[in-house]
C-alpha cells in the first residue's frame, strides 16, 4: 500500500503536467496569446522560427476568409529552448511554458511521421490539448505537395483544437455505398459529396510498388484502395476535408455530406462543421468585420526558457497532523525532489502555518547529494493555523533573493487548508509572473486554490485518490492506478 500511496502522488504531479489550460483569448475578433513551443530536443535552426511565423501569418488571412470575415490571429508567443543560442530580442518567460503551449514543434510521435495532428480526446465542440508540427514539416517545402499550403493546414488543425470539429475524410473507410440516389453508388468519404478523383491501389512486390486503378467487386473497391482527389477541381468546400487550392469554406448544413462514414459525422451526430463552429463562444463573442483582410497583422513575441527556479511551499498547520497528511506531504515532496525536478534547476523550501519560515534557501540541483540535502529539510511537525498567503509571500521572497525576480519562476504549493483569506494575495500572485502548481491534500481545501491555477498554473485535487488508499485493498488499488494510466494513454490522435 505504501507503494500505491507514492504512485498516487507521482500521478498528482503528472496530472499537473497533463491537465493544461490554453492561454488564448479573443480580443475584438483577434486571438491573443497563442503559445507555440519548440521542443528542447529540436536542433537549433532559425528557419523553424521564421517559417512558423510565416505559416501563422498566412493562416490568419485564411482564417479570416474561412470564418466569413470574423476571426484572425492577433498575437503569438514562440517559446525557444534554452539550449538554443541567447538573443537580445528574446524575452523571459512569465507564466508560459512548454506543457501549456497550444502548438508544439517536436519530432514525430510514433507512426505520425510528418503528419500535422491535434491531440483531441474529448467530444464534439470540446477543445483539444495541443497542435503538433514536426520540424521537417516546417522546413521541407516539398511537403506542401502532400499536406497542402502550411497556413491552410494550420487552420484545419486550429478548427480541431479550438472548436472541436473533426475530419471529413477517413483513412480507415475511404469509400462507402451511397443510398442518396435511386441506384446505390460508391462514393469517396468526403464533404461535400461528389468530390472527383481516382481510386488507387499500391501493388507492391518487395520494396517496389506500382500504382493501379482499384478493382471493383460490384459493391465496394478492394481492401487497401485509397482515394486520390483531383487537385484541379473547382470546389470551395471543405476546410476539414483536404487542403485543395480552391477550398475557401467549411461544409455547412446545405453542403454537408451526412452519409460519409467520417469522424465528424460519428462524433458530432451528423452535424456539419460550420454549424458546430457557429455555436462556439468565439462566434457568439465576435462580429463580422467589413474588410477584405484582418484589421491588423499578427505580432510575434520570442521567449526563451531560463533556468528553472522552484519554491516548495508546504503546509505544516495543525490539520496536517490528521490522517497522516504530513507524511503524505513529505512523500509527495520527496518524489518531486528525487524524480521530478531536473538537474541544473534551483529549488528552495518554505513551510507555513500561522506564519511562514524558510527551511532551505534556493539552491541548485547538481547531483543526488543536493537532492538528499533538500529532503532532510522537509518538515516533521505540524501545528498552528493556516495562512497560505504567508507561505506564498515567503516563497516569492526566497526566489527573488537569489534570482532577483519572480518572473518565470514556480511555486509548488501542497496544502490541505481551508483558508478564507486567500483572496488577499491574488493580486500579488498575478503580478508575480510566476506559475503556482497546487496540490490539495485534504477534503476541505479551499476552492480559492483553483483561482491560483486559473491565474497562473495547475491544480490537482488528491482527495479522491487519498480516499482510495484507505478504502481499497492492494489489488483494487493497483487496478485503479492501471485505469488512470490507460485513461491518460488512450487518446485519439486526429
* Lowest-confidence segment of 69-78, 276-285, 458-467 by average pLDDT: 458-467
| DSSP states along 237-280 | B-TTT---TT--B---TTT--TTS-SHHHHHTTT--HHHHHHTS
Average pLDDT along the chain: 86
Q: Is residue 6 pLDDT above 70, yes or no?
A: no
The domain segmentation of the chain, as residue ranges, is 22-166+268-303, 175-229, 307-461
Single out the catalytic residue among 2, 32, 157, 306: 157
| Alpha helices per DSSP H over 149-194 | 150-158
Q: Is residue 489 pLDDT above 50, yes or no?
A: no
Q: Is residue 144 pLDDT above 50, yes or no?
A: yes
> What span, in angstroms and rounded, lies between the C-alpha atoms of 460 and 442?
11
> What span, in angstroms and rounded, lies between the C-alpha atoms of 263 and 172?
10
Res 446: pLDDT: 60
The residue assigned the cell 494550420 is 154
Element (H, E) at 89: none
> What span, in angstroms and rounded, lies between the C-alpha atoms of 400 and 419?
25
Split at pLDDT 50, 70, 90, the class of 413 is very high
Beta bridge partners of 104: 37, 132
Beta bridge partners of 201: 212
Identify the CA nearest to 405 among candidates 100, 94, 99, 98. 94
Give the SS3 label for residue 476: helix
> What is the rounded average pLDDT of the residues 392-419?
91
* Higher pLDDT pick, 96 / 78: 78
Res 265: pLDDT: 98
What DSSP state is assigned to residue 344?
A: T
Give the SS3 label for residue 24: coil
Cis bond leading into 484, ω under 30°? Answer: no
Q: Supply the Cα-derived Rg of the chain in whole angstroms.
A: 26
Res 451: pLDDT: 74
102 to 24, 130, 267, 459: CA distances (angstroms): 8, 5, 23, 19
> What span, in angstroms and rounded, lies between the C-alpha atoms of 388 and 420?
10
Residue 303 grid coordinates: 521567449
The residue assigned the cell 454537408 is 256
The pLDDT tens digits of the residues spanning 287-330 come to 999 999 999 999 999 999 888 999 999 999 999 998 889 998 99
> What span, in angstroms and rounded, lies between the C-alpha atoms of 146 and 264?
22
Res 9: pLDDT: 52
Name, in order, each residue with C-beta under 8 angstroms of 110's C-beta and a sequence gap of 6 or more: none
Active site residue 157: yes
Q: What is the pTM of this model?
A: 0.77
Domain 307-461: assigned CATH number: 3.40.50.410
Amino acid at each position: 500500500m505504501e507503494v500505491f500511496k507514492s504512485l498516487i502522488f507521482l500521478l498528482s504531479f503528472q496530472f499537473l503536467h497533463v491537465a493544461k489550460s490554453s492561454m488564448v483569448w479573443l480580443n475584438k475578433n483577434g486571438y491573443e496569446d497563442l503559445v507555440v513551443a519548440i521542443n528542447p530536443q529540436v536542433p537549433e535552426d532559425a528557419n523553424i522560427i521564421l517559417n512558423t511565423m510565416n505559416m501563422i501569418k498566412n493562416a490568419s488571412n485564411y482564417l479570416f476568409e474561412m470564418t466569413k470575415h470574423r476571426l484572425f490571429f492577433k498575437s503569438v508567443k514562440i517559446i525557444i529552448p534554452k539550449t538554443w543560442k541567447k538573443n537580445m530580442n528574446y524575452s523571459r518567460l512569465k507564466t508560459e511554458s512548454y506543457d501549456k503551449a497550444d502548438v508544439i514543434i517536436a519530432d514525430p510521435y510514433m507512426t505520425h511521421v510528418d503528419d500535422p495532428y491535434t491531440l483531441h480526446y474529448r467530444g464534439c465542440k470540446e477543445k483539444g490539448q495541443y497542435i503538433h508540427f514536426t520540424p521537417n514539416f516546417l522546413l521541407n517545402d516539398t511537403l506542401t505537395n502532400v499536406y497542402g499550403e502550411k497556413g491552410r493546414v494550420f487552420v484545419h488543425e486550429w478548427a480541431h483544437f479550438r472548436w472541436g470539429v473533426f475530419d471529413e475524410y477517413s483513412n480507415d473507410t475511404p469509400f462507402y455505398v451511397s443510398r442518396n440516389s435511386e441506384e446505390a453508388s460508391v462514393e469517396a468519404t468526403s464533404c461535400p459529396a461528389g468530390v472527383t478523383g481516382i481510386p488507387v491501389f499500391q501493388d507492391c512486390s518487395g520494396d517496389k510498388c506500382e500504382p493501379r486503378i482499384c478493382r471493383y467487386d460490384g459493391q465496394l473497391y478492394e481492401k487497401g484502395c485509397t482515394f486520390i482527389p483531383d487537385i484541379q477541381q473547382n470546389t470551395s468546400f471543405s476546410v476539414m476535408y483536404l487542403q485543395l487550392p480552391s477550398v475557401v469554406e467549411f461544409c455547412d448544413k446545405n453542403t454537408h455530406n451526412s452519409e460519409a462514414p467520417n469522424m465528424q459525422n460519428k462524433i458530432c451526430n451528423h452535424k456539419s462543421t460550420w454549424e458546430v463552429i457557429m455555436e462556439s463562444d468565439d462566434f457568439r463573442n465576435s462580429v463580422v468585420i467589413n474588410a477584405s483582410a484582418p484589421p491588423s497583422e499578427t505580432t510575434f513575441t520570442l521567449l526563451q526558457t531560463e533556468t528553472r527556479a522552484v519554491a516548495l511551499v508546504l503546509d505544516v498547520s495543525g490539520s496536517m497532523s490528521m490522517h497522516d497528511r504530513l507524511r503524505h506531504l513529505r512523500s509527495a515532496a520527496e518524489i518531486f525532489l528525487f524524480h521530478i525536478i531536473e538537474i541544473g534547476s534551483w529549488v528552495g523550501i518554505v513551510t507555513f502555518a500561522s506564519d511562514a519560515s524558510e527551511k532551505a534557501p534556493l539552491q541548485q540541483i547538481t547531483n543526488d547529494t543536493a537532492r538528499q540535502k533538500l529532503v532532510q529539510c522537509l518538515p516533521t511537525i505540524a501545528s498552528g493555523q493556516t495562512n497560505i498567503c504567508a507561505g506564498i509571500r515567503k516563497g516569492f521572497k526566497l526566489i527573488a533573493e537569489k534570482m532577483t525576480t519572480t518572473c518565470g519562476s514556480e511555486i509548488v504549493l501542497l496544502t490541505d487548508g481551508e483558508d478564507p483569506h486567500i483572496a488577499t494575495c491574488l493580486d500579488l500572485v498575478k503580478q508575480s509572473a510566476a506559475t503556482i502548481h497546487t496540490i490539495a491534500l485534504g477534503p476541505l481545501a479551499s476552492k480559492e486554490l483553483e483561482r491560483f491555477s486559473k491565474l497562473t498554473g495547475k491544480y490537482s485535487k488528491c482527495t479522491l485518490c487519498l480516499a482510495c488508499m484507505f478504502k481499497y485493498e492492494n489489488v483494487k488499488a493497483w487496478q485503479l492506478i492501471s485505469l488512470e494510466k490507460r485513461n491518460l494513454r488512450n487518446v485519439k490522435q486526429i
